[in-house]
Structure 1
C-alpha cells in the first residue's frame, strides 16, 4: 500500500491524502505510532489543530493558514479512516452528511424559500431546522446536543442560550450583575472556610455567571478573553524589554517596579491609539 502511485501524485488532492492515511494505518507496513492511535487519542490533536487555524486567522498569516487547514483536514481524514476500519462510516459518508445538512439548512438558497430575509430570520429558521434534526435523533432535552468537548466558556454560553429559548433566563443585565455579586461573596466565604473542592465549585459558578453577563452584553467571552490574554502578553513583554535595557530580568525586579512599567506600557498603548 505504501507504494500506491497515488501517494506520490502531486495533484492527488484529497484522494492522495486518504491514500497516505490508509498506508500509515496499514497493520503490516504502516507507521507503528499511527497504528496504535484511536478516536480518543487523536481527539486532542483535532482540537489543537482547530485552535491553530484560529490563531493563523487572527494573525492574518495566510501561508500559515494554508498549512494549518491542511493539518485540520488531516484530522478529519484520520477519524474517517478509523471509522472505516471499524465499519462505522467512510470519508464519503462524512462528505455526504455535511453536504445534505447544508442543503437542508439553506432552503432559501437551494430550495423554494425566499432568499430576501433578514439575518435574524435566517438564524431563527436555522434553529428550527436543527430542532427538527434533534427530534429525529430522539434528543428531546433542550441541552441534549451541546457538545461536551467545547471550550468551557463557549459551552457555558451555548447552554445558556438553549435555556433562554424556553424562557429560563434573566430579563436584563441587572439581575446578572446581582448574581455576580452574590457568587463573588460566596467565593470569598469559600476561600476562608471551605475545602479546595468547594472553592473550585464556587469559582466555576462565578465564571458561569460571567459568561452569562457576556451573553447579555452580546460579547463573545472566548474572544474577549483571547484579547485580554494578548494584551497581557504584549504589556508583560514591554516590561521584559524595559528591564532588558537595564541588563535585568523580571526576577531581578519587584512587583512595585514591574507595576510601574506595566502602567507605562499601558499609557504608551493608549497614546499610540489616540495618535
Structure 2
C-alpha cells in the first residue's frame, strides 16, 4: 500500500484517493462479504475478506501519511477493546454469559465521550433500514421500548392511516418514513433482522420476475397487466 501511494512511483489512482473517496468502496466490499456469507461460497468469502482487508489497509496508510495512526495501531486498538469488554473471558469474572456487563462497559465508554447519548456512535452512513434497527436497539437498552410486539404492530396500523390521510408529497414522504420505521420496530420485536428479511424479499422478487420475464419472451413488455400477473402467479407456483 505504501508503494501504491508513493507520489513518485506509485499508482496515480491510488495516490489521488482520500478517506472520502475510498469510503464507498469500503461499504461495497463489506456488502460483498455479506453476500458471500449468505451464499455460503467459501472461495468468494476468502476473496471478499481480502478485498475488505485491503480497504482497512488503505485507510490506515492514508492516516499514517498524515501522522495520525498506522495499521498496527488499528489492530492494537481493537484487540484492547475486545479484552476490555470481555473481562469474563480475559479476566477473572466468573460469569462467561454476563451480557449485562458487556452493555455496562460499553455504556461507561460512551459516558467518557463528547456525546454521551445512548444513540451515539450509530453511523449516519449506514443503510437507513439497518440504522433504524440499531437506533431502536440502543433506545431499547434505556427502557424506551414496547413491552411486546403488539404495541409495535398497532403503531404500523396507526402510521398506515397517517399515510392515507397525508395531503401532499412532503407529508406522504414523512409518513412513509414513519411507517418504515414502525415496520423495522415490529420486525425487531419478532426477533427478525429487517435488513436480512428485505434482502430475502428482493431475491425472491428478482427470481420470480426473471421467471415471468423469460416465460413472456420478447413480448413481455407489451403484454397487458393481467397477462403479466398470470405469468407472475405461474412463477410463484414454480
TM-score by length of 1: 0.82
Matched residue, 1:18 = none
User: Using the alignment, how far apart are the partners of 1:115 and 1:141 within structure 2?
Assistant: 28
Within 5 A, what are the aligned runs for 1:1-275? 21-114=1-94, 116-117=96-97, 121-122=98-99, 124-190=100-166, 193-194=167-168, 196-244=169-217, 248-268=218-238
User: Using the alignment, how far apart are the partners of 1:156 and 1:39 within structure 2?
Assistant: 25
- The alpha-carbon deviation at position 38 of structure 1 amounts to 0.7
Q: 1:86 to 1:249 in 2, by over 3 A?
A: farther
User: Using the alignment, how far apart are the partners of 2:160 and 2:36 within structure 1?
Assistant: 36
Larger Rg: 1
- The alpha-carbon deviation at position 249 of structure 1 amounts to 4.1
User: Using the alignment, how far apart are the partners of 1:253 and 1:220 within structure 2?
Assistant: 37
- The alpha-carbon deviation at position 138 of structure 1 amounts to 3.9
User: Using the alignment, how far apart are the partners of 1:160 and 1:203 within structure 2?
Assistant: 17
Counting matched residue pairs gives: 238
CA RMSD between the two structures: 1.6
Q: 1:105 to 1:116 in 2, by over 3 A?
A: closer
User: Using the alignment, how far apart are the partners of 1:116 and 1:89 within structure 2?
Assistant: 33
Secondary structure of 1:22's partner? coil
Cα deviation per residue 1:20-53 (whole Å; 9 max; x = unaligned)?
Answer: x111111122222211111111101100000001
Secondary structure of 2:234's partner? helix
User: Using the alignment, how far apart are the partners of 2:14 and 2:186 within structure 1?
Assistant: 44
User: Using the alignment, how far apart are the partners of 1:249 and 1:100 within structure 2?
Assistant: 61
Contact 2:208 2:232 in 1 (8 A): yes
Query: Is the deviation greater in 72-81 or in 128-137?
Result: 128-137
Residue ranges of structure 1 left out of the alignment (5+ in a row): 1-20, 269-275
User: Using the alignment, how far apart are the partners of 1:41 and 1:99 within structure 2?
Assistant: 28
